[in-house]
Structure 1
C-alpha cells in the first residue's frame, strides 16, 4: 500500500510520536503498553509496525487503513482538489461527497493518478471528497439553499437521508437532474437488484453491517444468527450500535422498520447497550461492561485479534447494506462520462472491496462474499415511501425508547 504518512518499516514510536492521534488505535487493538509514553519510547523504538502486526496476527493492509483514517481525519479534513484550491466556482466540473474512511486515501491516490495525464480534466475539475467521518452537514446546507445551477456535477456518499429527502437530493431527483452514465449494463451478480431501474442513481459499492459477538459475555445465551434474533428480549441492553455512523445506522433503522415494523425499531432501541466507534468495537471486550453484540461495518472484522474472545457473524437473513451512491448530472453527460466510468471501474472496485471490505458492484470484481446474503430495502420500497420522513419517524421512536419515554 502507498501510504502518505508512514511506512511499515517505521517504528511504533516514530508513528505515534509524529501522529499522536494513532495512539488510541494501537491501544484499542492490543498494544496497551503504548498508552504510556515511557513504553512508547522503550518498546516502541525497537519494534516496526510490520513486526508488531505480524506478532499480533493482524492484517497489515487493514491496519494501515485504520491508521490512515485517523491521521487523514486529523490533518486532511479541508477540501482536496487538483489545483490546491478550495473555491469550487473556479472550475468547470465539480465533485463533492464522502468516501469511506479506510479507503479514502487509496481512492484519492487512484483518482489523482487518473486525471494526472488528462489535461482536459485536470485543468477543469475540482473536488471535495472528505472522509465519511466528517458527516454530511457541510453538504446539506448547500443543498437546502442552492439551485440546480449551483449543484455539484457528481456526488458520492453512502446512506439514505441525503439522497432521498425532499428538501435535499429528493427535489433534484424529481426534476430529472440525475442520470446513471457509468455505462455498466449490469452489476456484480451479488447485487443485481441494486441497479436503479429508472436509470437515475448509480452505485459504486456497499457498506455491509455484521455482528461481532463477545463469546465471554454470552453466559449461556445463544449466538444471534439473524437480525430477527438480534431483536430478541434476550439481548436487552446488550447491543452496541453504530449510532454515530449516520449512514450505516440509518440503513439499519430503515431496514428494521421495513422488515419488522416500528415495533422492531423499538426492540432495537431497547437492546441498545452503547454506541462505539468501530476501532473501539474490536477491543470492546476489555470495557468494564462490555456489550454482548456489536453491530459494525464488515471492514473492521479484519482487525480482530485471533486470541480475542470476539467472533463475527454474517446475519443469515443478510447483512444490512448502506449503498455508496454516485449521482451524476444528466446535462453534463459528455463531460462527466470518463469520471463516472472511473469511479465505477474495476480498479476502484478492487480498492473498495480488497482494501476496505466494501463489496463493489462492478461485475468484474471478485468480492470474496459470493456466498453471503445482503439485506437491501429495494427500489420499489424507495419509490413507494418517503424515505426521509420514515427515517425521521424511526429516529424519534428510537430515541424515545432509549430515553425511557416510551
Structure 2
C-alpha cells in the first residue's frame, strides 16, 4: 500500500496533491492528463486502480514509481542527527544512489538506525541517498570539482557504477593514493561470492561490495517463433537474434556492466554481435510488459533485465525469465569509504554491511547480498559472470567503457543516445 495515497484515490486527487506525478502518468500512456481540464473532469471519475487496470499496468510497480517521484520532490532527507544540509558541511558526508525497488525500505531502516544512534554520536552527519533512476551526474560533478583533493570528497559513497569508481578522471584517480579502504573488516564474505568461480572481495582492500544487481534476460515465447530459447549470452550473439533484443541502455550502471563483461569474456567480436542484436532500449520497469506492442514498435524477442524485474513478470504473460548458463552479469553495489575518518565512518559501514540490510537487499529486492550471514536462496545453477579484480586493476575501466560503447553503437548502426 502506498504511503502517500491509496489505489482507490482518484487520479485527480493524486495529481492535485502531487503534481510532480503528472509526467509519470503521461509517459505511461495517460496523455490526456497533460490537459488540466481532462484531469479535472475525467480524473475525478477514475481511480488509480481503475486506470492501471485499463492500461494493464502492474499496480505494485507503478505505485512504487509514483512514490519514488514523490520522494524525490520532498525536502532533503535528513535525520535528527543533522539539521544541516549537505552544503552546510557535516563532519561526515554520505552520498550515492540506491536501487529503485528497495530505496524506500532501505531509507526507512537507515533513518531508524540514525535515530537510535543520536545519543552516541557527537558529530553531524549529512547524507543524500537518492533513487538510482536519477543517475550520478551530480555526484560526478562534485568528484570532478574536487580536482584531486581527497579532503573535498564525501566520506562514504554507496552506488553501483563502474565508471564512477574506476574512471581515472573520477574516483579512479584516488585508488593508488590509498584514500579509500574497505572498512567492513569482514575476512570472508558470503560463500555465494567467495569460491573458486568468483570472488568479490577486493584483494587490495579498497572497495567493498554489499550486494549486486544481476542481469538476466526474459524471452517472449510469442515472438520467439521457431528459434530455440536462448540459454546464454553467447546464444544471443547468434545471427537469428539480430535486431531482436532489448537492452537497458538508459540504465548506465547496468549497461556499462553489460559492455564490460561481454568484452571481458567475448572480446570485440562479442560486443559487435550484441550491437547487431539490439532492437531498442527500454527502462527495466518497461521490460515487465515488453510483450505488448505499442505505437507500431516491433516487440523484442528477448529483453535484458535486472533479475528483480524479471522475477516480477506475470506468469500468465508470454515472458519467461532465463538465468544465463554462462552467468548473470554482475553490476556491483559498491561501498567506498575514506580511511582517514575510520572511527566516525566505521559505524555506517557496519550498518550498511549488516545482515539487516543484507536481508532487504536479498529478499525484498532480489539483489543478492555479500553479507556472510544472509541466505540469498540461490539455486546451484544461478551462477554469475564477474570481471574479476585482476582484470579491473589491470585495465583503464573508464577508457574501456568508452571504447566498447563505440564498438557497440557502430555495430548497431545507431547514434549514441
1:25 is displaced (CA, Å) by 7.5
Distance 2:331 2:30 in 1: 31
Distance 2:253 2:128 in 1: 18
1:250 is displaced (CA, Å) by 0.4
* Structure 2 residue aligned with 1:265: 271
Distance 1:240 1:136 in 2: 23
Q: For 1:63-142, what aligned pairs fall within 5 Å after superposition?
A: 65-73=64-72, 75-76=73-74, 79-82=76-79, 83=82, 85-119=84-118, 120-121=120-121, 123-142=123-142
1:275 is displaced (CA, Å) by 0.5
1:306 is displaced (CA, Å) by 2.3
The 8 Å contact of residues 187 and 195 in structure 1, kept in 2 or not, is answered as yes
Deviations 1:80-106 (A, max 9, x none): 333454334421000011111111111
* Structure 1 residue aligned with 2:317: 308
Matched residue pairs, number? Answer: 396
Distance 1:86 1:238 in 2: 47
* Structure 2 residue aligned with 1:386: 396
CA 1:373/1:121 → structure 2, altered by over 3 Å: closer, same or farther?
A: same
The 8 Å contact of residues 57 and 305 in structure 1, kept in 2 or not, is answered as no
Work out which of the residue numbers 351, 356, 363 in structure 1 matches 2:365: 356
1:65 is displaced (CA, Å) by 3.7
* Structure 1 residue aligned with 2:221: 215
**Which one is further off, 298-307 or 34-43?**
34-43
* Structure 2 residue aligned with 1:323: 332
* Structure 2 residue aligned with 1:402: 412
* Structure 2 residue aligned with 1:154: 156
1:302 is displaced (CA, Å) by 3.5
Distance 1:30 1:335 in 2: 48
Q: For 1:337-356, what aligned pairs fall within 5 Å after superposition?
A: 337-356=346-365
1:141 is displaced (CA, Å) by 2.0
CA 1:228/1:207 → structure 2, altered by over 3 Å: closer, same or farther?
A: same
* Structure 2 residue aligned with 1:143: 143
The 8 Å contact of residues 150 and 174 in structure 2, kept in 1 or not, is answered as yes
1:173 is displaced (CA, Å) by 1.1
* Structure 2 residue aligned with 1:168: 170
For the residue of structure 1 that corresponds to 2:250, the secondary structure is: coil
CA 1:223/1:202 → structure 2, altered by over 3 Å: closer, same or farther?
A: same
The 8 Å contact of residues 196 and 202 in structure 1, kept in 2 or not, is answered as yes
Distance 1:110 1:258 in 2: 37
1:301 is displaced (CA, Å) by 2.1
Distance 1:348 1:122 in 2: 24
Distance 2:77 2:308 in 1: 25
1:253 is displaced (CA, Å) by 0.2
Work out which of the residue numbers 44, 48, 55 in structure 1 matches 2:47: 44
Distance 2:337 2:414 in 1: 43
1:368 is displaced (CA, Å) by 2.1
The 8 Å contact of residues 261 and 387 in structure 2, kept in 1 or not, is answered as yes
Segments of 5+ residues of structure 2 without an aligned counterpart are none
Work out which of the residue numbers 244, 256, 266 in structure 1 matches 2:262: 256
Segments of 5+ residues of structure 1 without an aligned counterpart are none
Distance 2:222 2:78 in 1: 48
* Structure 2 residue aligned with 1:225: 231
Work out which of the residue numbers 189, 203, 206 in structure 2 matches 1:200: 206
The 8 Å contact of residues 177 and 331 in structure 1, kept in 2 or not, is answered as yes
The 8 Å contact of residues 69 and 102 in structure 1, kept in 2 or not, is answered as no
For the residue of structure 2 that corresponds to 1:143, the secondary structure is: helix
TM-score if structure 1 supplies the norm length? Answer: 0.87
CA 1:32/1:168 → structure 2, altered by over 3 Å: closer, same or farther?
A: closer
